[in-house]
Structure 1
Amino acid sequence: MPEEPIRLAVIVGSVREGRLGLTVADWFAGRARGHEDLDVDVVDLAEVSLPMVLPRFGAAPGAEAGRALAALTPRLARADAFAVVTPEYNHSFPASLKNAIDWHDRQWHAKPVGFISYGGISGGLRAVEQLRLVFAELHAVTVRDTVSFHGAWKHFDDKGAPTSPQSCDGAAKILLEQLTWWARTLREGRAARPYAT
């Protein structure tokens, strides 16, 4: 009997006009869709209007936040694994990404998170290092290997295809294999016994 596919949410962290994030996410999602054991959902935070102010602890979100959460939260809850596509802004990650992370809690618990980063000379790796700390606080498991684009704008042509696919395709393959392994292992664990927080 075939196993249920792993539900992978590819999260586009940047909402800036002219961003490269959607191009990178579409490329990575295409690599992921090549794996028959993955069900891929691209979550573009530019399409989600979460307020930047969270409600007081224990208080219900307002109407605007409620509508945005109704569109986003079930997609995160349904996911078995996450691939976060992030640029590096000022040695960190975008506020839009932190905001989406902070509006949620249990949706991240005992699930793996992989990173696809892009930027200038560092390729977004400083953003990834900070995100590892954030996701550890949310009981998520971050995957060691990443896909990173240094000087990212020269790595994609005007159609959104990588200019040198061999290296980034190899990195994506490793990341997807690790995410899939962790996703299956943690899904089986959550099914066998509740995760304690």
Structure 2
Amino acid sequence: MTLKLKIIIGSTRPGRVGPKVAAWVNQAAKAHGKFSIELVDLADLNLPLLDEPSHPAMQKYEHEHTKRWSAIVGEADAFVFVTPEYDFHTPAALINAVQVLLKEWAYKPAGVVSYGGISGGLRSAQILRSLLGNVGVAAIQQSVPIPFFSSFINDDGVFTPNDKMDEGMTLMLDELVKWAGALQPLHKG
């Protein structure tokens, strides 16, 4: 059975570069060849702020946007979150997207690709990894920080990683395969 990887673009701001970075992540994951991949843009989902009347643990979703998001997360075996760092923190839209659901996240691994200034978005990644652990995701230690991200985007708007980023991505995907395979019986059972 092929493992299902969801690459989640965590920024919804106009003018964001998340889709450019995620295009590279998507290309790298396809080249890796161990997953069936879906690129998921939170901007397309347009999730309102915690608008379900019942707690997510009950899975009594009334709104179509939540049902659609639940199906996307529920069918996944692993995740890669692509997140910027906003004000030394994870974007509010991404935090909301995680907190809208609960059980759908359980026993699935996740890696984080973060981007920002000198820190490469590592503060955002650490906050996100902590939140993911609280909803039952196994946030793996391998991550790919991208410092000074704008210097890797050419005039055509294409993100081109350096060799260390490519190496880090391969390592993270290798680890995700191991974790996803080991955890799959727990979330499919």
TM-score (norm 2): 0.91
Alpha-carbon deviations, 1:112-134, whole Å to 9, x = none?
Answer: 01000001111110011111211
Aligned partner (choices 75, 83, 94) of residue 72 of structure 2:
75
Question: What is the root-mean-square deviation in Å for CA atoms of aligned residues?
Answer: 1.7
Question: 2:11: which partner in 1?
Answer: 14
Aligned partner (choices 160, 163, 171) of residue 158 of structure 2:
160
Aligned partner (choices 16, 22, 27) of residue 30 of structure 1:
27
Unaligned runs of 5+ in 1: none
Question: 1:130: which partner in 2?
Answer: 127
Residue type of the partner of 1:112?
P
- Cα distance in 2 for residues equivalent to 1:103 and 1:175: 26
The 1:117–1:126 alpha-carbon spacing in structure 2 relative to 1, beyond 3 Å, is: same
Question: 1:117: which partner in 2?
Answer: 114
TM-score (norm 1): 0.88
- Cα distance in 1 for residues equivalent to 2:159 and 2:95: 28
SS in 1 for 2:112: strand
Residue type of the partner of 2:120?
G
Question: 1:101: which partner in 2?
Answer: 98
Matched, 1:170 2:167: yes
Residue type of the partner of 2:167?
G
Q: CA deviation at 1:146?
A: 0.7
- Cα distance in 1 for residues equivalent to 2:162 and 2:124: 23
Alpha-carbon deviations, 1:128-150, whole Å to 9, x = none?
Answer: 11112111111110110111110
> Does the CA-based 8 Å contact 1:54-1:61 persist in structure 2?
no
Q: How many pairs does the alignment contain?
A: 185
Matched, 1:145 2:142: yes
Matched, 1:84 2:81: yes
Q: CA deviation at 1:187?
A: 0.6
SS in 2 for 1:144: strand
> Does the CA-based 8 Å contact 2:133-2:139 persist in structure 1?
yes
Q: Greater Rg, structure 1 or structure 2?
A: 1
- Cα distance in 2 for residues equivalent to 1:123 and 1:173: 18
- Cα distance in 1 for residues equivalent to 2:82 and 2:171: 16
